[in-house]
Amino acid sequence: MSSVPSVLFVCVHNAGRSQMAAAFLTHLAAGRVEVRSAGSEPADQVNPTAVAAMAEIGIDISTEIPKVLTADAVESSDVVITMGCGDTCPFFPGKRYLDWELDDPAGQGIEAVRPIRDEIEHCVRTLLEDMGIPFASGSSDSRRPVRKSRP
């Protein structure tokens, strides 16, 4: 592993779950983790309901763009977290793979997406704890408005 670990979140469309997870990790790790997300069949845009659910807690993912999953992205990541991409994810020995079983927010209303968002946040926090990376200051309660930092 490099001095800064890298995490890749993968779901089919890279429009909901993986985008929310990447945004949480970006916020909570505050530069201590390199964050990527991709999809095996990327959508044209991020799911507007996922954007709205994240905006409710002060994280803006409205400018994110779904990206295609590449072997290079997997190979250059220390941890690969899949969310329903099945067998379409390339496998490289020596990588840490996790599969998070999360409902798909596609086609769901905001009431259904909020619990998915909250479960993703819990998973990301657990991941950071497992990696021994402290949460960014001021991020102990995600219900307070926060701003997504950009490199």
> Which of the residues are catalytic?
11, 85, 89
d(CA 119, CA 126): 11
Q: How many residues does the chain have?
A: 151
- Residue with tokens 């905006």, as numbered in its chain: 55
CB-neighbour burial class of residue 87 (10 A; exposed 0-12, middle 13-18, buried 19+) = exposed
